[in-house]
Amino acid sequence: MNDSNLSLNALEEMSRCGHERVCYHVDEETGLRALIAVHSTKLGNALGGVRRWHYANEHEALFDVLRLSEGMTWKAACAGLAMGGAKSVIMLPERGAPGTRDIAHAMGRFIDTFNGAYIGAEDVGVSPEFTDWMLEKTDHVMGGTGDGQGGDPSPHTAMGVIYGMQASLRHVGRDQFAGLTVAIQGLGSVGTYLAQFLNERGAELIVADHHDDRVQHILDTCNARGVSCEEILGVECDIMAPCALGAILDEKSIPTLKTGIICGAANNVLRDPEADAHRLSDRDILYAPDFVVNAGGLIHLAGLYLGYTLPQLEAMIARIEETTMTVFEMTKEHKTTGHAALALAKLRIEEGTAQEQVNAH
């Protein structure tokens, strides 16, 4: 495929997904190359992480930012936020390139040109320090270490997953974690908090991570046993919580699952959202859609930006349980839980837009 075909495909993809605005910025002085994609501002300004990643080329980065920003629209709408969907990516010249203060400043200035329509936050490759540096050049970034910035969203994401699990348990006629076995794939920022919250609720844990120290910490502090990263998806458990990477459930791994419920933080866990959702339901495995149950961190940061108090934010995160129940209920009229969640997001956007029109008259 030549370059003009690739560009055409990217533009087609942009209009197919319904993006409002996509900007590419090159800052010659610092070498920053970045994309900001605003998918929708129908419900309000849009908060989404800044991802620092090494892509093979600009087109790969463009497809990633288009896909991720669209996902943020559905996530924010399902979360009941007056927020749209957006995301940005910084293209690293090589893997592991350092995030300097100058580059963070250049990204902060780029974000500022959106006048708040796009609000940046942490994502893969962005540290709290880098976030603080971006904040030196724009007010439209959340997740920094300063007062009211929200800090690390991970504990809130983990708490949202707990509510998603509670809904899943209610759906299959169970009501408590005590006596249940929960497997967690990945003990990073979210997986570690999730393990602690589940341990406090009496669940037995099976955990795996490439980092032995992270596994050891959970074995030392929780009722848990460790297995290898190759084994984790096949262990017998009541709930499987993917908290590592996306695309881990596919035609190979789904037949090996020995769980009744999938509910975790990792984004886009189904390699093929359509076929894999059917594979799960054919095996009678309940799938709690990732973008519904992993919205706790977004709710925390976006809610703070919108001026909600901490108790209000906790209540909004707790509503993930009812939203997940609604999605399961709606699945009677939709092919899969993923389709139902998308339908719920679209309904909320329609209702929100209609409400705005009423308010404007």
The verdict on 265 binding ligand NAI (CB under 6 A) reads yes
For ligand NAI, the closer of residues 265 and 317 by Cβ is 265
State in angstroms the smallest separation of the CB of 243 from ligand NAI: 5
Give one DSSP letter per residue of 285-334, joined into a string: -EE--HHHHT-HHHHHHHHHHHT--HHHHHHHHHTHHHHHHHHHHHGGGS
Judged by CB under 6 A, the number of residues near ligand NAI is 24
Distance between CA 116 and CA 102 in Å, rounded? 21
Distance between CA 149 and CA 133 in Å, rounded? 13
Residue 335 annotated to the active site: no
Catalytic residue among 42, 75, 87, 258: 87
- Measured CA to CA in angstroms, residue 218 lies from 158, 198, 201, 212, 249 at distances of 15, 11, 15, 10, 25
Residue from 266, 270, 320, 349 binding ligand NAI (CB under 6 A): 266
Radius of gyration of the chain (CA): 20
The verdict on 281 binding ligand NAI (CB under 6 A) reads no
For ligand NAI, the closer of residues 96 and 173 by Cβ is 96
Q: Residue 290 forms beta bridges with which residues?
A: none
The verdict on 188 binding ligand NAI (CB under 6 A) reads yes
Whose structure tokens read 């190359």? 33
Positions 156 through 175 that interact with ligand NAI (CB under 6 A):
157
State in angstroms the smallest separation of the CB of 123 from ligand NAI: 8
Inter-axis angle of helices 296-306 and 154-171, nearest 10: 120
Residue from 41, 166, 168, 189 binding ligand NAI (CB under 6 A): 189
Single-letter residue type at 165: M
State in angstroms the smallest separation of the CB of 332 from ligand NAI: 28
- Measured CA to CA in angstroms, residue 155 lies from 162, 166, 262 at distances of 11, 17, 19
For ligand NAI, the closer of residues 168 and 185 by Cβ is 185
Contact string 216-255 vs ligand NAI (x = CB under 6 A): -------------x-------------xxx----------
Residue from 294, 331, 336, 337 binding ligand NAI (CB under 6 A): 294
Residue from 12, 127, 211, 231 binding ligand NAI (CB under 6 A): 211
The verdict on 190 binding ligand NAI (CB under 6 A) reads yes
Q: Residue 25 forms beta bridges with which residues?
A: 34
What are 68's two structure tokens?
Answer: 């991720």
Distance between CA 130 and CA 189 in Å, rounded? 17
The verdict on 100 binding ligand NAI (CB under 6 A) reads no
The verdict on 185 binding ligand NAI (CB under 6 A) reads yes
Footprint of ligand NAI on this chain (CB under 6 A)?
153-154, 157, 185-191, 208-211, 214, 229, 243-245, 265-267, 294, 297
Q: Which residues are known to be catalytic?
A: 87
